[in-house]
């Protein structure tokens, strides 16, 4: 099963789509590739799409909050979109809903950064 990540650049926004299972095992690989992707020049903010995440536990909360804090320290923003009910529940439980901005879908999340898809 595992986890795959697609990174895409939409103007100055990094779009990351997670696919599969995010646990302690896959979180460490994700952290590495995510930090690398954010180092590409010209990236301002980012959108994290969780639509195809079939499993997540507290390790996922940790790795997402970790990147959120790194971005925030540099004055950059992260928006999370397309939560499944199970993932939504974990964000509710942990109180992350009060910290991170969530949007319903990818198109709308990108639009809030001024990226309009044709």
Is 99 a residue that touches other proteins (CB under 8 A)? no
> Contacts with other proteins in 21-40 (CB under 8 A)?
21, 23-25, 27-28, 31
Which residue number, 80 or 110, has a Cβ lying nearer to other proteins?
80
Q: Distance (Å, rounded) from C-alpha 105 to C-alpha 95?
A: 21
Q: Is 6 strand, coil or helix?
A: strand
What mask, x for binding other proteins by CB under 8 A, covers residues 61 to 90?
Answer: xxx-xx------------------xx---x
Question: At a CB cut-off of 8 Å and minimum separation 6, what does 87 contact?
Answer: 50, 53, 56, 60
Least distance from C-beta 56 to ligand ATP, angstroms?
A: 12
Joined tokens for residue 36: 């690398």
Taking the C-alpha atoms of 44, 89, 25 and 32 in order, what is their torsion angle to the nearest 10 degrees?
0
- Contact positions vs other proteins (CB under 8 A): 1-2, 21, 23-25, 27-28, 31, 55, 57-59, 61-63, 65-66, 85-86, 90, 93-94
């Amino acid at each position: 099963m595992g986890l795959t990540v697609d990174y895409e650049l939409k103007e100055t926004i990094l779009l990351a789509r997670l696919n599969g299972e995010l646990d302690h095992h896959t979180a460490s690989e994700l952290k590495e590739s995510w930090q690398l992707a954010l180092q590409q020049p010209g990236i301002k903010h980012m959108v994290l799409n969780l639509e195809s995440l079939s499993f997540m536990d507290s390790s996922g909360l940790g790795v997402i909050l970790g990147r959120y804090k790194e971005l925030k320290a540099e004055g950059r923003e992260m928006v999370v979109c397309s939560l499944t009910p199970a993932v939504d529940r974990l964000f509710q439980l942990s109180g992350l809903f009060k910290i991170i901005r969530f949007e319903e879908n990818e198109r709308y999340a990108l639009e809030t950064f001024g990226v309009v898809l044709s």
